[in-house]
Structure 1
Amino acid sequence: MFQSFVVPSSQVPGYSPIYRHPDYKDGTHKDRYSNITTLYELFKAQVKNHPKENFLGRRTYYPETNAFGDYEWLTTTEVDEMVDDYGSGLDQLFAKHAPDMNEETGQQPLGLFSFNRPEWLLSELTAFRSSRYSVGISDVAGVETAEFYIRCSEVKILVCSLDKIPRILERIEHTPDLKVIVSMDNLDCSKPTLASQAFNAETAEKLRSKAASLGIVLTDVAQVIEMGRAKPTEPTLPTPSTYCTLSFSSGSTGLQKGILINHGAFTVASRAAHLGLQQRNTSHLSFMPIAHIYDRYVIYTFMHDIIRIGFASGIDTLLLSDMQALRPTVIMTTPRLLKSVYDKVALATVENKGVAGILSRFAYKSKLKRINSGRGFKHALWDRLVFRKIAQLFGGKTNLVVSGAMTLDSEIQNFFRAALSCNVIQGYGQTESIASGVIQKIDDVSTGIIGIPSPGVDIRLRSIPEMGYNATNRKCPRGEMMIRSEGIFSGYFKAPEKTAETMDGEWLATGDITQVNPDGSLTTIDRMKNVIRNSSSINVETEPLEIIYGAHRLVDSVIIHGSLRAYDLIAIVVPKQETFVPWAQKIVGNTNAGLVELCKDERVADVMASELRAHGSKAKTSTPVVIGAVHLEPRDFAQIDREFLTLSRKLRRFKIIQYYDSVIDGLFQKLEKAIDLQIETPGSSQ
């Protein structure tokens, strides 16, 4: 059965036919929510339809032990009342300190800078109440990036967590438009949070004095709410064409760009996902950076029905603890997180050498066979004996896992289908497409695909002849994915030329090379900007290789690079410490050697290169080029520089390659010397 609907007579020279979701052949997706045209209307519908339901939650924080307890909740009704009071207070601050509209947008931006927490979403909803738009600044952004966002977007009022305020004030000359800072944490420190643990009332008051001396008004959310309660204002409601957010691109392939999105587009994109995922009464753990589109796309998608949004504690190592406390029904995540958990769980189960390993492998194969034959995801015996503990790591209530951002390794996808007794599907989207575009059907158990067009989304491929991709090939169309929908961005902020480069008429050019599979599903196979050429002029697609080599049990992260100087590739590898250290100690014959020492040892690097070559051969990589040399990096890329990761936790290849310039040069010199030795060796085939 062909999964996608092919629009008749839609093929034109240089392009594939147009593909649509088979249940929405006319390209629209009308339902009972079609009358909702803004995110603020969506929120108000949540309040009206589900009054007094638990809505926004956070874990109780105990500063004396730096520990977290159960979730505390604000109901929909309580949040609605807070939005009105908070909005009235912000109206007064804007009127007094930042009355002007932004020249580019005709609206006022509200900056939001913190890790995921109720005040973030509350502030965004408050901005919507007065037709303002949010400018999200991720907690993982470095200080210079944060300042760039504030300066570029001309933010005058910033809402942020208390821990961010000292460094903003210390470098206030880098954000000259800033007039008001609103702390998400109480400045009297009466309600301790993770972000305020290093402060007390006295140090917070010193911050207020310093701010005043710099001409900055410093207040907090609680005080703004009190201002609004004392002097209410009337809402200025948005329309579909009103901007709701300015979101910065991940920057994985170049400079970050501000992406303007309006209410109408965001509402359409979220409704499409709601129809595709078909989830009701959802508990969602918000841990992906909320400043990025992905997490908010999820939130507004599930807001079409009952949704409980539990915010993560803000400590990465406690993420599974957060899941166990919340017990989410749907997990929206990335391959990076799933691989991290898989590497730990697999060691104790399917990769275990003992009896437990034999039992786990048998259970896994048995369950996978059951799933692939269409007999369901649950198994009374194996779930109880083997997989129940793994499911409990994620809270034990998971109905669906959706992975985005990059391609998920097939073995990991299948493992979690068996372990969590639910489907694990993949999807594809960009910030420009509001995270929407392509997603697997919730009953599709295939791997290696990103799915079919979402409801109301048109997909077609554009031929890229210089890379050898032909979108008009009948058997296997390949080309750059193009997206057309009412749910795409309005344009780049102050960069019309970039907008023009990205749009082909009505179509968004994604830059991702995709193929239409024989069954009508889609698979991303390449990235236009992630292609390198070796000395034999072979085009090498780096991303598929990084997925394959990144799945190796010794590898945590990997960057593959090539050059016209050599035939083989080189790899910058961050090892998976738990598996790498004992493996490498055997190579050097020293059980006391630590991670840093082992990474410096040339013998270990050479054997790692051999391991990766064997792994690539086993995985049947699509390129004949192999890993010739490896540099082992003992630190996680994000520990070296937080700018090495995008907001969606993808690696910024261009920044990493720049950083390792001298290391990469040394690796290619090593490959060149090896070639010279082969040429000079008597009797060689050269």
Structure 2
Amino acid sequence: MGKEKTKEVYDSSRDKTLGKIVKGESPIWIRLAIWILRVWFFIYDCLNYIPYQLFNSPVEKLRKSGRVKAKWVDDRDGPIRNVDGHLAETFPGKNTIDKVWRHIVGEFEEAPCLGTRKLIAVHEDKQPDGRVFEKWHLGDYVWQSYNEIENKVQRLAAGLRDLADEEKEPKVVIFAETRADWLTTALACFRANITIVTVYATLGEDAIAHAIGETEATILVTSAELLPKIGTLGKKCPTLKTLIYFPKVSENEELKDLSDFRNQFKHVLSLNGVMSRNKTPLLESTATPADIALIMYTSGTTGQPKGVILLHENVVAALCGQNHGVAIITKEDTYIGYLPLAHILELDAELTCLAKGCKVGYSSPLTLHDRASKIQKGTHGDCHALRPTLMAAVPAIMDRIFKAVSEEVAASPRFMQELFKLNYERKRARYQEGYCSPFLDRIVFKKIRRLLGGKLKGVLSGGAPLNAETQRFMNICMCCPVVQGYGLTETCGAACVADINDLSTGTVGPPVRCSDIALREWPEGGYSPFNDPPQGEILISGENISPGYWKQPDKTKEDFIEYKGKIYFATGDIGQMRDDGSLLIVDRKKDLVKLQHGEYVSLAKVECALLNCPIVDNICVYGSSHEESTVALIVPNQKNLEKIAEEVGVTSKDLADLCSNSKVVDAYKKKLDDHAKSSKLTRIEIPAAIHLCPEIWTSESGLLTEALKLKRKPIQKTYQETIDNLYKKLRKSSSS
């Protein structure tokens, strides 16, 4: 099985993307026009050959792309280490988060640090069904300098320390949206040496109460907008003594009556109220590297969220590794922050950028671009206003961009489709040869690039595996490198980051400098570091590794293991090492199911391949050792589902009706099977039966994590009856 997996790694030289967008043969006049353009490209190459060789040598780019990035320290059952050596501190001697922050402030002082857009007006958009949605008209970004943020941190830390001294072991729960106040409060907690407990802003009151109860937190920090979600939290959580709230985003909107909260909490304070509580600013922290900085709850893809303990030395080491791994960041850059700061990916990304003097402009998925759901028609989204050069993204967001562009191209006239195909193929081929395509970037891909502001020079994907075709498509259309990182909350963020100069796709790169990685043999799956290429379960060690889970010693003992005399975190992911030392994620132990006749199927691999299909918005594949095949639960793309319905003579536009119509489902299944075959899935990997779900899966419904990954157990529990019925139908059809 291990050797078979090597064939499944994406080969970018056989890109299938355009075959899914442009189908069939074109009229002769279109083919003639395309031929003329090919001739023009040939002449263009001849004229530019010497300038390319002199000023932008492809030979040098190919050398950097193929250079060895990591090596075995000893032999194959030992660790793999970055060729630049092991390092755990970016600034020698700065071994706590506060020491790193104060060093940064001293270096960049009056440079812009954190930016927020001013809300000009809120409009109400009434729907035909009576629902009302807010639409925002936003102005320019307003910036606070590094010194201004430090001044707030000093005063806020003093106020928090004053409140915390009333408790024995104070902990601060931050339950708020991603914004400048969130990060400022976190920096103040690090200054005051108070442990932060992170909670996602989309969670309900019971889930928040669980985190507070387990950690016995004493201070709750939230935003004025989220106060209605915590109406009775003070009564449910007796350890809570203080409520602190951020001001409303809309300056014209009045704050609700706080009398009910004053009955539940000893202190109810605004952020400004905390800053004015103690007149003596707190200038430095008493924290040591071994002190707990964060208890960060995981996204809970395989069960209940676990509180991951992160020490100051873990965060400092992670920043060191990521600063080296994402080497393109400079003080001239602008990062757009819109992912949840309660997720390690966003927190790490922002701190890593700030360590280089980069400025961070805040956004949200609802205001990110011009077509975002909260942007007033005729006004611009945050990417247009900010023009970021750097951003982090989860694969689900990039898959949506990929599908949106693909659908727009497919809906255009045939000549435009062929023209796009020619330009895409041309740039892809040149990109892999080490050449740039400035003419195509400025003329052809400029409009697509503007979706995210037009100035991006790098995108980091994390949180889940990124489909290799989507990665290549984004590389070409966004005109910048799109690289993958790999890590977990338990590794304090990225343990691997792909080299920005790597022209290939699919890799998550070499270990960052603070991490060592071992590949542990897994005989049942056929994976071994002595395979060719080396494979095995990814084990990670280093100063960035968490000491364990909060109040879960058994789970800590299970996941944090001793291997070859060192403590490693066992990820459960299967890695494969390339000749250059970069890693590929080829499987996951928990996502690997053994079917009735002994065949193994990687659910994540099948989902990754089918999620790239335009007719699929989301998919969860299910398999059992008691069954002969897999089945799939699918959230269909409504626009494409309606087209399929028209093709089979069904005129209804109601999503629930279409999802339950057998003719539509059969036609949908046929198109899905065609896509699966073109993606090289085997017969046993292709789901034998499907169910179309009219309900959209969201993090609010509890079926997706904040990073938009599947929560398998909740999905299985919700649709267990449906899964049972799918298998009953399969058994009935096979017996007949």
- Which secondary structure does the structure 2 equivalent of 1:655 belong to? helix
- Pair 1:456–1:555, CA change in 2 (3 A): same
Deviations 1:72-106 (A, max 9, x none): 1111111111111111122222234xx211xxxxx
- Pair 1:176–1:389, CA change in 2 (3 A): same
Q: Tell me, yes or no, if structure 1 residue 653 matches structure 2 residue 712.
A: yes
Structure 1: distance between partners of 2:698 and 2:70 = 42
- Pair 1:128–1:537, CA change in 2 (3 A): same
Query: Aligned match of 2:163 in 93, 117, 132?
Result: 93
- Which secondary structure does the structure 1 equivalent of 2:508 belong to? coil
Which position in structure 1 is the counterpart of 2:41?
none
Which position in structure 2 is the counterpart of 1:479?
536
Query: Aligned match of 1:324 in 377, 380, 384?
Result: 384
CA contact under 8 A between 2:68 and 2:579: conserved in structure 1?
A: no
Deviations 1:434-491 (A, max 9, x none): 1121121111121122211112321111111122222322x12221101111111122
Q: Structure 2 matches for 1:268-307, cutoff 5 A?
A: 268-278=317-327, 279-281=329-331, 282-307=333-358
- Which secondary structure does the structure 2 equivalent of 1:657 belong to? helix
- Which secondary structure does the structure 1 equivalent of 2:702 belong to? helix
The amino acid across from 2:389 in the alignment is T
- Which secondary structure does the structure 2 equivalent of 1:675 belong to? helix
Of 512-521 and 364-373, more deviation after overlay is shown by 512-521
Which position in structure 2 is the counterpart of 1:572?
633
Deviations 1:634-653 (A, max 9, x none): 222117x5321223221111
- Pair 1:269–1:622, CA change in 2 (3 A): farther
- Pair 1:88–1:351, CA change in 2 (3 A): same
Structure 2: distance between partners of 1:154 and 1:307 = 36
Which position in structure 1 is the counterpart of 2:512?
454
Structure 2: distance between partners of 1:303 and 1:21 = 24
Structure 2: distance between partners of 1:623 and 1:154 = 51
Query: Number of matched residues?
Result: 644
- Which secondary structure does the structure 2 equivalent of 1:673 belong to? helix
Structure 2 gaps of 5+ residues are 1-65, 124-135, 373-380
Measure how far apart 1:585 and its partner are: 2.7
- Which secondary structure does the structure 2 equivalent of 1:144 belong to? helix
Measure how far apart 1:624 and its partner are: 3.2
Measure how far apart 1:364 and its partner are: 0.6
Deviations 1:621-677 (A, max 9, x none): 2673321111111222117x5321223221111111111011111111111111111
Which position in structure 2 is the counterpart of 1:218?
268
Structure 2: distance between partners of 1:110 and 1:308 = 26
Which position in structure 1 is the counterpart of 2:608?
547
Which position in structure 2 is the counterpart of 1:682?
none
CA contact under 8 A between 1:390 and 1:419: conserved in structure 2?
A: yes
Structure 1: distance between partners of 2:701 and 2:101 = 34
CA contact under 8 A between 2:606 and 2:686: conserved in structure 1?
A: no
Measure how far apart 1:232 and its partner are: 4.2
Q: Structure 2 matches for 1:479-498, cutoff 5 A?
A: 479-498=536-555
Which position in structure 1 is the counterpart of 2:225?
163
- Pair 1:419–1:2, CA change in 2 (3 A): closer
Q: Tell me, yes or no, if structure 1 residue 624 matches structure 2 residue 684.
A: yes
Measure how far apart 1:568 and its partner are: 2.3
Query: Aligned match of 1:643 in 702, 710, 713?
Result: 702
- Pair 1:589–1:268, CA change in 2 (3 A): same
- Which secondary structure does the structure 1 equivalent of 2:453 belong to? coil
Measure how far apart 1:613 and its partner are: 1.9
Structure 2: distance between partners of 1:110 and 1:444 = 41
Of 156-165 and 136-145, more deviation after overlay is shown by 136-145
Of 410-419 and 61-70, more deviation after overlay is shown by 61-70
Structure 1 gaps of 5+ residues are 102-107, 186-191, 678-686
- Pair 1:351–1:500, CA change in 2 (3 A): farther
- Pair 1:594–1:39, CA change in 2 (3 A): same
Measure how far apart 1:67 and its partner are: 2.2
- Which secondary structure does the structure 1 equivalent of 2:491 belong to? coil
Q: Tell me, yes or no, if structure 1 residue 249 matches structure 2 residue 298.
A: yes
CA contact under 8 A between 1:141 and 1:642: conserved in structure 2?
A: no
CA contact under 8 A between 2:199 and 2:342: conserved in structure 1?
A: yes
Q: Tell me, yes or no, if structure 1 residue 209 matches structure 2 residue 269.
A: no
- Which secondary structure does the structure 1 equivalent of 2:551 belong to? coil
CA contact under 8 A between 2:70 and 2:582: conserved in structure 1?
A: no
- Pair 1:302–1:234, CA change in 2 (3 A): closer
Structure 1: distance between partners of 2:408 and 2:216 = 51
Structure 2: distance between partners of 1:593 and 1:618 = 29
Structure 2: distance between partners of 1:142 and 1:353 = 47
CA contact under 8 A between 2:113 and 2:354: conserved in structure 1?
A: no
Measure how far apart 1:519 and its partner are: 4.4
Measure how far apart 1:352 and its partner are: 4.0
Q: Tell me, yes or no, if structure 1 residue 259 matches structure 2 residue 308.
A: yes
- Pair 1:645–1:501, CA change in 2 (3 A): same
The amino acid across from 2:459 in the alignment is V
Measure how far apart 1:63 and its partner are: 4.1
Structure 1: distance between partners of 2:117 and 2:159 = 27
Measure how far apart 1:601 and its partner are: 1.0
Which position in structure 2 is the counterpart of 1:6?
71
Structure 2: distance between partners of 1:623 and 1:438 = 33
Measure how far apart 1:144 and its partner are: 2.2
Q: Tell me, yes or no, if structure 1 residue 200 matches structure 2 residue 254.
A: yes
Structure 2: distance between partners of 1:91 and 1:18 = 42
CA contact under 8 A between 2:243 and 2:265: conserved in structure 1?
A: no
Deviations 1:498-528 (A, max 9, x none): 2111122211111111122344321111111
- Pair 1:261–1:356, CA change in 2 (3 A): same
- Pair 1:216–1:651, CA change in 2 (3 A): farther
CA contact under 8 A between 2:641 and 2:668: conserved in structure 1?
A: no
CA contact under 8 A between 2:368 and 2:383: conserved in structure 1?
A: no
CA contact under 8 A between 1:4 and 1:21: conserved in structure 2?
A: yes
CA contact under 8 A between 1:259 and 1:491: conserved in structure 2?
A: yes
Which position in structure 1 is the counterpart of 2:45?
none
The amino acid across from 1:649 in the alignment is L
Structure 2: distance between partners of 1:77 and 1:424 = 33
The amino acid across from 1:609 in the alignment is K
- Which secondary structure does the structure 2 equivalent of 1:138 belong to? coil
Deviations 1:391-431 (A, max 9, x none): 11111111111111122112211111111211111110010
- Pair 1:7–1:531, CA change in 2 (3 A): closer
Which position in structure 2 is the counterpart of 1:385?
443
Measure how far apart 1:368 and its partner are: 0.7
Structure 1: distance between partners of 2:386 and 2:286 = 33
Amino-acid identity (%)? 27
Structure 1: distance between partners of 2:369 and 2:216 = 35
Of 63-72 and 425-434, more deviation after overlay is shown by 63-72
CA RMSD of aligned residues (A): 2.1
Query: Aligned match of 2:668 in 594, 601, 608?
Result: 608
CA contact under 8 A between 1:608 and 1:630: conserved in structure 2?
A: no
- So what's the TM-score if we normalise by structure 2? 0.84
Q: Tell me, yes or no, if structure 1 residue 172 matches structure 2 residue 241.
A: no
Which position in structure 2 is the counterpart of 1:70?
140
CA contact under 8 A between 1:7 and 1:17: conserved in structure 2?
A: yes
- Pair 1:5–1:85, CA change in 2 (3 A): closer
Measure how far apart 1:315 and its partner are: 2.2
The amino acid across from 1:462 in the alignment is R
Which position in structure 2 is the counterpart of 1:684?
none
- Which secondary structure does the structure 2 equivalent of 1:573 belong to? strand
Structure 2: distance between partners of 1:214 and 1:140 = 22
CA contact under 8 A between 1:132 and 1:244: conserved in structure 2?
A: yes
Which position in structure 2 is the counterpart of 1:132?
194
- Pair 1:236–1:9, CA change in 2 (3 A): closer
CA contact under 8 A between 1:566 and 1:672: conserved in structure 2?
A: no
Of 476-485 and 165-174, more deviation after overlay is shown by 165-174
CA contact under 8 A between 1:456 and 1:485: conserved in structure 2?
A: yes
Measure how far apart 1:236 and its partner are: 3.7
Structure 1: distance between partners of 2:180 and 2:622 = 41
- Pair 1:659–1:421, CA change in 2 (3 A): same
- Which secondary structure does the structure 1 equivalent of 2:444 belong to? helix
The amino acid across from 1:303 in the alignment is L
